[in-house]
Amino acid sequence: MGIRTLVAMLVVALVVIGALATQESYKVFMPGLLQGAVLTIEIAILGSLLAIVMGVLAALARMYGPAPLKLLATVYVEIFRGTSALVQLFWLFFVLPQFGVTLNAFLVAVLALGLNVGAYGSEVVRGAIQSVARGQWEASTALNMSRPQMLRRIILPQAFVAMIPPWGNLFIELLKSTALVSLITLSDLAFKAQQMNQNTFKTIPIFTLVLLMYLAMSLVVTIGMRLLERRASLGLARGRQHDLGLGICF
């Protein structure tokens, strides 16, 4: 699906939300839902940043780290990939206090979702690095580059382009998973919707607005990642043309 189509869908979703918000049966719910949406966005952004950091670090540790780091990274990835995000959320919120470590609900939400998605993201990073053509590694070695130089200047810029689409999917999954944080007392979009529904029994207007809001947020993520992918691909292509012009072949 092209970017123009995605933008058109986003505009339609926003127009429909705006139109519904002017109707008497819908507009009464908008302030509370918008408040919940802000919290959802905050958790999604911070969780995504943590996921990127943990994904990159875990992937590099598993591929190039010393044995203790490899073991630690492997344990982290397998635990967070092999258990439910909901269980992880509950464990951090309800079990950690039994060991004397109490975290507020917002921090627990960011940590649980970020660490969970970061574990999947580490496999994305590892796969993208391994997908770089062998000739690139050999040429970098021939230029007497150290491994950090090789990764920073040659390998990771190319792997970055391959990482973008799967990371976009992971960010959307993280955004949708924020609905779980309502179970640890956070007033996110899902929590606000459920609370309003229990008080008013206006199921159709409430969850219609919530559906459209989640759709709009997901479309923003998708469009952003598509634009980033296009920009990165163009930058990589220009770099290769420049290298060919200089007679350099990686």
Q: What is the pLDDT of residues 113-162, one digit of tens each?
A: 999 999 999 999 999 998 888 888 888 878 878 888 888 888 888 888 88
The model carries a pTM of 0.88
Q: What is the maximal distance between C-alpha atoms in the chain?
A: 71
Helices (H), the chain: 3-21, 24-27, 30-64, 67-82, 85-90, 105-131, 134-142, 147-150, 156-177, 189-200, 203-245
- If residue 7 lies in a helix (H) or strand (E), which one and from where to where? helix 3-21
| Three-point CA angle 23, 29, 34, nearest 5° | 115
123's tokens: 């496999």
| pLDDT value, residue 250 | 46
- Residues 75-80 have a mean pLDDT of 96
Q: Which residues, including other chains, have CB under 8 Å from residue 200's CB and lie 6 or more apart?
A: 206
Residue 239: band (very low, low, confident or very high) from pLDDT cuts 50, 70, 90:
low
Q: 114, 181 in Cβ contact below 8 A?
A: no
Specify the higher pLDDT residue, 86 or 1: 86
| pLDDT value, residue 144 | 79
| pLDDT value, residue 180 | 94
- Residues 100-110 have a mean pLDDT of 95
CA distance 60 to 128: 12
Q: 208, 193 in Cβ contact below 8 A?
A: no
- Residues 100-112 have a mean pLDDT of 95
